[in-house]
Each structure stands twice: as C-alpha cells, then as structure tokens.
Structure 1
Amino acid sequence: MSRAEFQPGQGRLVLAGTPIGDAQDASPALVRALGEADVIAAEDTRLLHTLLLRLGITTEASVISFFEGNEASRVPGLIADMADGKVVLVATDAGMPSVSDPGYRLVTAAIEAGIPVTAVPGPSAVLTALAISGLPVDRFCFEGFLPRKPGERRRRLATLAAEQRTMVFFEAPHRLADFLADASAAFGADRPGAICRELTKPYEEVIRGPLSELVTWARESARGEITLVIQGAPEIATSWDDALGQVDILMAGGTKLSAAVAEVAQVTGLRRRELYSRALAARTIESEMGTK
C-alpha cells in the first residue's frame, strides 16, 4: 500500500529515521511525521524529547519507551492502537528503526495483522561510513554488531574471511581494539579498513589504513560512536593453507573440527572431504611433533 492510499483515520506503523548526529539533518518529512503521530514509541524518551526541542516540534502524541528490554511486551498494545486507527511512530536513538535497533518485531506483527507499514527515510551511519571510507562501494554487506564473546566473534569473522563485498560493522569503542585484532588475524593484517567515529557530529573523524595500524590507533584513541568499514577479500581462490588457518581460528574459539571444516568449506568453496583430510593430517603431524 502506498502512502497515497492511506485513508484518514487508518492506523499504520511509521518507522522514522532520525539524525545520527546533527539534529539539523532531520528532514521536513520527519518533522511532519513526529507532529502528526498519535503514539511515539521511542528507544530513549529523553533523547526523543531533546530532538523535539531542537527541532521546535510540539506533539500531543502519547510517548512510550520502546527498547530491546521491553520491545516484545510492547508489541501487542501497539498493534491494538493501530487496529483502533492510531498512527504509531517508532523512533530509535539514531538512524532507522529495526536496523540493529528495536522495531523488527513490531514490523512483522503489523504485517501479520494487515496493518500498513511505511517509513520516513533519514541519515544512515551504514551508508555514510561506506561513502566516506574510500573503500569499494559497488557491493557491500552490513554485519552490525558481532558477538561480544571473543570465541564467538572469532568464529563469525572466520566465516567472513572470503567475503568479497565491503563489510560494515558497528562496535563499541571499548571493544574496538579487540575486534580489530581478531579481524586482522582472520582477514590479514594488510586488509584495508576505515574507522568512522562520531559521524555528522562536531568531532567526526575517519581513520583509514590496514587493520594492523587501526588496531594500534584503537588501543589509544577509540571513543564515541563507531562504524567500521573493512574491504572485502580479493577475488582469488583460497589456498589450502589459508583454509586450514581459518579452520584453526574456528577451533581456537571452541568449534569442533568437523563443524569448522564444514563452515570453511562453505565459505571458500573448497571440497569439504579433502579439507577435512588435510586438517586431520595437519593435527596428526602437530600431535606427533609435540610428543617428541
């Protein structure tokens, strides 16, 4: 259903893309949508009120909190509001709702209930970082936040070692150095990357270079909101030695040999049975050398 087909008094869900830094990046469409909503579900109600104040918006909408911890419990009530003809607007702290932020559960529930879903597009940390990174932009993938536990994070990075598209990640500043160290081990120390911090804010900064250099910078200077862009793998066939190295990384993180081989074989396109035989042989040799 297009926006032109919305009927007066018809309930609907509006996903509102909010500024990622500078409030002046808010579009006229966002200002209008915030002023017309009946219910505003905000990830942080304090930040929402600050945004309304900066934009000079007054609203009679009912403002409720809508964050990861209460998203599931809020959905039924919001669906009921929309079924009663109310316009529910979702606004997260920055960027587009449901993209690494609350909103996905509500979208799927609204679609299932036959309620129209639309969006007010806005600034995107993903696309902004990608555009200014200086890395290839013709093909890319968004990986969001990787697992916090080191072993799980290393396993995820190992599965991305052969990914040829430019990759975009989110990461907290206090975990950035460890993330980059693991990425350097999985992708290679010379793989180009870009750390984009505080996008559109007064202290915006982009640090470009090989992953090994970015690790050093992150250990000393990481702070603020971070979006990380890493160039994809070159279009060359993965060698058996590289594949075995990826298997070792996965196993170091706790993955069993058979599962690690299956994962690496799927990513690299190498024959699973032969990779397993080579990995098993390598481990046998290492074991024999360790007993001498």
Structure 2
Amino acid sequence: GAMLARNRTSSSDFVLLGLLVSSEATGVVFTVIFAIFVVAVMANVLMIVLIQADSRLHTPMYFLLSQLSIMDTLFICTTVPKLLVDMVSKEKTISFVACGIQIFLYLTMIGSEFFLLGLMAYDRYVAVCNPLRYSVLMNRKVCLLLAAGAWLGGSLDGFLLTPITMNVPYCGSHTIDHFFCEIPAVLRLACADTSLYETLMYICCVLMLLIPISIISTSYSLILVTVHRMHSAEGRKKAFTTCSSHLTVVSIFYGADKVVSAFYTIVTPMLNPLIYSLRNRDVMGAFKRMLTRCSSAQKVVTITVLC
C-alpha cells in the first residue's frame, strides 16, 4: 500500500497528516473549525466594511485595525480551507508550489501582524501622551506609511525564509506531521543538515518578535507614566479604555503558543475583530447605523458592497 501511495503522488508532492482526530470525532471537529472559520472571515470583513463606510471611524486607530482585519482574513484563508478539504478527502497531498505559497503567506501575515501590533501601540502612545499633536503626528500620510511598513516588514520574512526552505533537498518521506506547511514541520523531512538554516530562522523570528515587543513595552510604559500623572479620573478612564482592547489582542497574539498553533491559526483571527468591536462603543455605533441604513433604501447598495 505504501509503495502504491508513494508512486501515485508525484515525487515533489507533500502529504499533510493533518489534525490527529479519531474518525468518529472528525465530523464534530470539522463543524467546529468550519464554524469558527466562517465567523472569523465574516467578523473581519464586516470590520473592514464598517471602518470603510463610517466616516466616524476614519481615524488612525481604525485604519490600522482594518489592516489587522485584512491580515487576519488572509492568514486564516491560507491554512484553514486546505485543512477542511483534507479532513474530508482521502488524498491529503499538497503540491510543492502550494506548500511554498502557504509558507510565504503565513510568514508574511504573522510578521506583518507583529509589526502592526507594535505600530498600534505607538498610535495609542501618541493618543494618550501627545493628544494635542495627535492629528499632526498621526496624519493620513504617516498612517499609510506605517501600514506599508508593517506589510513590508512581514513580507521580508516571507521573501527571506521561503526560498531557503524550498531549496532544501527533500528525499525519502514526504509526510508532513502538521495540518499546513509550517517551516519546522517541513524541515523535519530534509535529508541535509539544516541546523545552520534553523539558527538563521531562529534569529529572524527573535528579531521579528523583539522589535514589536520593544515598541509595545516602551509605548505602554510611557502611557502608564502619563496616566499616573493624570489628575482627572475621567482622563485615566479614557486612557485605560483606549488601551485595553489593544492589550487584550496583543496578549492573545503573543500568548497563543506553538502547542496551540491551531489556536493562533484559527481562533486568534476570529477573536481580534470581536474583542475590538464588542469592547467598543464606536464600532457598535457604526454597526447599528449600518443596520439602520441597510434596512432603508440603501439595501441594494450594501448588498453589492458586501458581495
């Protein structure tokens, strides 16, 4: 059987073992993951549409948040659809090229999201510590540059690590013990010594983490100092509300460890828009206004926008 299977899949294909789920539980797990996937995509798309459509949300914070939603949507679409297809199909193969695309996209999205979370912390720092200069320091051009920087920073990781991974010689087993092409899982199949590359990758990842984490911790330290000096309870409360949503997202993003790479791949993209919208009067307000608009004459327009 193994020989036949090996001959049937072309030599450059990989086989994804997927999530190790007993056949009885497959239906339930499939349903749960599919439901989370749908909610995540819908929540993020709704977030993007609301921020775009409601002029009250045309602020730097929401612009950056809409970028986060785009990243989350692309991120979840990189891995989950393939996982769902594999759960119900006999052939769990993924072509060499598709594997490379998956690696590139998930590296780019994770990297971009790390940088973006750092920039969002900087945005909160300016809002709390330099409120009078906020509109100057975070003008439209700056926001576009910051967003572009986040995307570029993330894609550098993808451009650097993907070609190296795909050029490592793979021979013998082509079975990846994972539900998507994550570099460490793919490298286990290499028949060359990859220790140097793994060290490079490790340094790369540490840098990708250190830069945003240092921006986040610096921003929040300065915010804490400013809030501590505030005399009005109202000001403190406002600063706290401003920062708590971002902090929640950051802690979930950094807290979701490798043990639960399923968690950060599937659940985090669903939680981000929910945390931001449910904790937030502006977003809920925009949502209500959008619903009122939808129910009136603009129904057709909104449907075309959403489709």
Report TM bin, short chain: under 0.3
Judging by fraction of residues, say which structure has more strand.
1
**TM-score calculated relative to the size of structure 1:** 0.22
Relative to its length, the structure with more helix (as a share) is 2
Structure 1 or 2, whichever has the larger Rg, is: 1
Structure 2 length as normaliser, TM-score?
0.21
Higher relative contact order (CA 8 A, sep 6+): 2
